[in-house]
């Protein structure tokens, strides 16, 4: 059960875009104090952004100190303090939280402890705390400038654990940065939630967060769910050796007509049906991004313009989306024709399936450890999904596979998520009577092609919550449920 939430500041509760869009009228006052022109400050800002990165440099005292050094004939630290204070006065008057954040924080503080865990200057952050009366909402603050450390150092996360006696699995870290917020928290055993932004995909799957949220208000449902369900129900795949960093891309099948959806599928692409305010495909793309996929190839066909219009090139979500709309005979054909767009390691996902982020982390880890492709599966007795079914040997390798009617005789069913080696498709091909590559059938037929050569494929049994939205009943049932209960149900 979650007892405490660590929360980042900038771009998690504080809406940084609002401040960046404000006309910098306070530059006039600061220019007067220093004895320079407003244009001088603007040029100095351009210099910083060009040479050191496009950040909100006004937030940091070093920017103002360098400005004073540049334009004052006699350097005075007291003048630096006066200039920075002038900025902080303006900051306090203009800084905003994301819509609904303050009400949510007040409500959350009644059931769990809240701790602000932020990198930054405490002089600025204390203005934020003062403006929104955070001292009556947050139990404590861990601000990097007040310590010898900054995120992702373990101190920033362990301070609260040791000071208040919380266990790691009772604390949820929420932030918008994979490297600072997610990495540090995961290394300390905390639960993690990424606040969705335009930030790029993480460098590796070890940064996969437990949750993805669009607003702080979603934390209420997560806390509520944690009181009923065990969040840590999927154990990590352990590794015995250090793994190499591997580039991962993704291939999503999102072209089906949704014939079993009835009237729902006539005018809406089945992957674009809305759940909890977003299309189903949105959650799939974010899961793939969180697993380290910066390039995502989507095979489209039926009502494809709905997908393209909504996601565009993917930049709004921090990924690069490439659409493939070719005349194809099968899902195997669609993937085969897209191989040149994909990296040597491929996450393959059906666009109408929801699953825990942990699933992707585990199959990537398992596949890299064994240097093999991995098929995610569930027990056939608990699903009516008509995907490929198979049996496994005592080592967890697929020993037989059924690609036909799939009548439930075999023990396991393909979930619709896999981690493939590209070479499996290059090295194991069937040919028709004309000598051309046989591209008929489903993607999973590569497993049979490997078996015919005595080559095995790994199976990973997924034990977390998931949903496959294929029929109208599937959609109507899931629409009534809480998003997080689905992923972490018992």
* Confidence band of 438 (pLDDT split at 50, 70, 90): confident
Q: Is the pLDDT of residue 233 over 80?
A: no
pLDDT over 70 percentage in the chain: 95
Q: Is the pLDDT of residue 370 over 80?
A: yes
* Confidence band of 435 (pLDDT split at 50, 70, 90): confident
Mean pLDDT of 128-157: 96
* Confidence band of 25 (pLDDT split at 50, 70, 90): confident
Q: Is the peptide bond before 35 cis (omega within 30 degrees of 0)?
A: no
The values of phi and psi at residue 23, to 5°, are -60, 130
Q: Which residue has the higher pLDDT, 60 or 203?
A: 60
Task: Supply the pLDDT for residue 295.
Answer: 95
Please give the helix or strand (H or E) that residue 25 lies within, else none.
none
Burial 260-289 (b: 16+ CB within 10 A, else e): ebeebbeebbbbbbebbeebbbbbbbbbbb
Indicate the pairing of strand 278-279 with strand 295-300. unpaired
Give the chain's domains with CATH numbers. Answer: 1-232 (3.40.50.1000), 248-488 (3.90.550.10)
Please give the helix or strand (H or E) that residue 118 lies within, else none.
strand 113-118
Distance CA 377, CA 233 (A): 16
Beta bridge partner(s), residue 400: 391
Q: Is the pLDDT of residue 258 over 80?
A: no
Mean pLDDT of 357-364: 92
Q: Is the pLDDT of residue 490 over 60?
A: no
Where is average pLDDT lowest: 128-132, 360-364, 417-421, 465-469? 465-469
Among candidates 389, 299, 287, which has minimal Cα distance to 335? 299
Q: Is the pLDDT of residue 134 over 90?
A: yes
Q: Is the pLDDT of residue 335 over 60?
A: yes
The answer to whether the Cα torsion of 82, 83, 87, 90 is positive or negative is positive
Beta bridge partner(s), residue 140: 115
Neighbours of 197 (CB within 10 A): 17
Task: Supply the pLDDT for residue 81.
Answer: 95
Mean pLDDT of 296-315: 93
> pLDDT averaged over the chain?
90
Task: Supply the pLDDT for residue 239.
Answer: 58
Model pTM score: 0.86
Give the three-state DSSP class for 263. coil
Distance CA 219, CA 206 (A): 23
Tell me the pLDDT tens digit for each residue of 445-474: 999 999 999 999 999 999 888 998 888 888
- Per the rule left: phi > 0, alpha: psi between -120 and 50, beta: everything else, 276 is left
What are the DSSP calls for 167-230, one per residue?
-GGGEEEEES-IIIIIHHHHHTT-EEEEE--SPPPPSSGGG--SEEESSTTHHHHHHHHHTTS-
* Confidence band of 406 (pLDDT split at 50, 70, 90): low
- Which DSSP letter does residue 326 get? -
Among candidates 79, 83, 87, which has minimal Cα distance to 127? 87
Q: At what angle do helices 77-94 and 61-71 cross, to 10 degrees?
A: 130
Task: Supply the pLDDT for residue 240.
Answer: 55
* Confidence band of 247 (pLDDT split at 50, 70, 90): confident
pLDDT over 90 percentage in the chain: 70
Distance CA 195, CA 178 (A): 10
Answer yes or no: are the C-beta atoms of 40 and 63 closer than 8 Å: no
Q: How many CA atoms lie within 13 A of 6 on its CB side?
A: 35
Distance CA 298, CA 312 (A): 12
Mean pLDDT of 141-146: 96
Answer yes or no: are the C-beta atoms of 291 and 205 closer than 8 Å: yes
Where is average pLDDT lowest: 128-132, 199-203, 232-236, 290-294? 232-236
Task: Supply the pLDDT for residue 235.
Answer: 65
What are the DSSP calls for 384-403, one per residue?
---S-EEEE-TTSBEEEEE-
Q: Is the pLDDT of residue 46 over 70?
A: yes
* Confidence band of 245 (pLDDT split at 50, 70, 90): low
């Amino acid at each position: 059960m979650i007892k405490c939430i660590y929360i980042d500041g900038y771009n998690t509760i504080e809406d940084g875009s609002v401040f960046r869009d404000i006309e910098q009228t306070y530059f006039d006052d600061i220019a007067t104090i220093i004895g320079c022109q407003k244009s001088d400050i603007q040029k100095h800002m351009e210099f910083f952004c060009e040479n050191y990165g496009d950040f909100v440099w006004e937030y940091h005292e070093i920017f103002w100190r360098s400005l004073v050094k540049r334009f004052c004939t006699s350097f005075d630290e007291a003048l630096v303090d006066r200039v920075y204070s002038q900025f902080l006065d303006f900051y306090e008057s203009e800084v905003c939280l994301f819509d609904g954040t303050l009400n949510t924080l007040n409500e959350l503080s009644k059931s769990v402890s809240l701790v602000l865990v932020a990198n930054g200057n405490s002089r600025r952050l204390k203005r934020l705390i003062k403006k929104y009366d955070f001292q009556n909402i947050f139990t404590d603050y861990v601000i990097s400038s007040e310590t010898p450390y900054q995120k992702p150092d373990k101190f920033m996360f362990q301070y609260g654990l040791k000071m208040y006696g919380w266990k790691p699995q009772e604390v949820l870290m929420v932030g918008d940065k994979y490297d600072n917020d997610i990495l540090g928290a995961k290394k300390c055993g905390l639960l993690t939630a990424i606040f969705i932004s335009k930030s790029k995909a993480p460098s590796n799957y070890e940064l996969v967060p437990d949750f993805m949220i669009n607003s702080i208000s979603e934390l209420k449902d997560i806390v509520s769910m944690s009181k009923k369900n065990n969040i840590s129900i999927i154990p990590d795949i352990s590794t015995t050796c250090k793994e190499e960093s591997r580039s991962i891309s993704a291939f999503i099948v999102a072209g089906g007509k949704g014939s079993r959806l009835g009237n729902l599928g006539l005018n809406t692409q089945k992957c674009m049906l809305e759940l909890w305010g977003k299309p189903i495909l949105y959650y799939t793309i974010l899961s793939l991004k969180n697993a380290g996929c910066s390039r995502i190839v989507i095979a489209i066909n039926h009502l494809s313009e709905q997908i393209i219009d909504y996601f565009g090139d993917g930049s709004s979500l921090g990924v690069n989306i490439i659409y493939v709309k070719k005349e194809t005979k099968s899902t195997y054909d669609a993937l085969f024709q897209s191989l040149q767009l994909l990296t040597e390691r491929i996450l393959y996902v059906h666009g109408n399936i929801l699953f825990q982020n942990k699933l992707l982390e585990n199959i990537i880890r398992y596949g890299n450890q064994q240097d093999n492709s991995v098929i995610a599966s569930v027990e056939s007795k608990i699903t009516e999904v008509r995907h490929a079914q198979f049996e496994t040997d005592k080592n967890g390798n697929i020993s037989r596979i059924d690609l036909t009617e799939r009548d439930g005789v075999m023990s396991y069913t393909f979930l619709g998520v896999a981690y493939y080696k590209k070479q499996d498709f290059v090295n194991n091909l069937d040919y028709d009577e004309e000598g051309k590559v046989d591209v008929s059938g489903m993607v999973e037929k590569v497993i049979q092609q490997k078996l015919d050569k005595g080559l095995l494929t790994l199976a990973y049994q997924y034990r977390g919550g998931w949903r496959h939205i294929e029929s109208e009943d599937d959609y109507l049932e899931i629409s009534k449920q809480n998003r997080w209960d689905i992923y972490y149900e018992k």
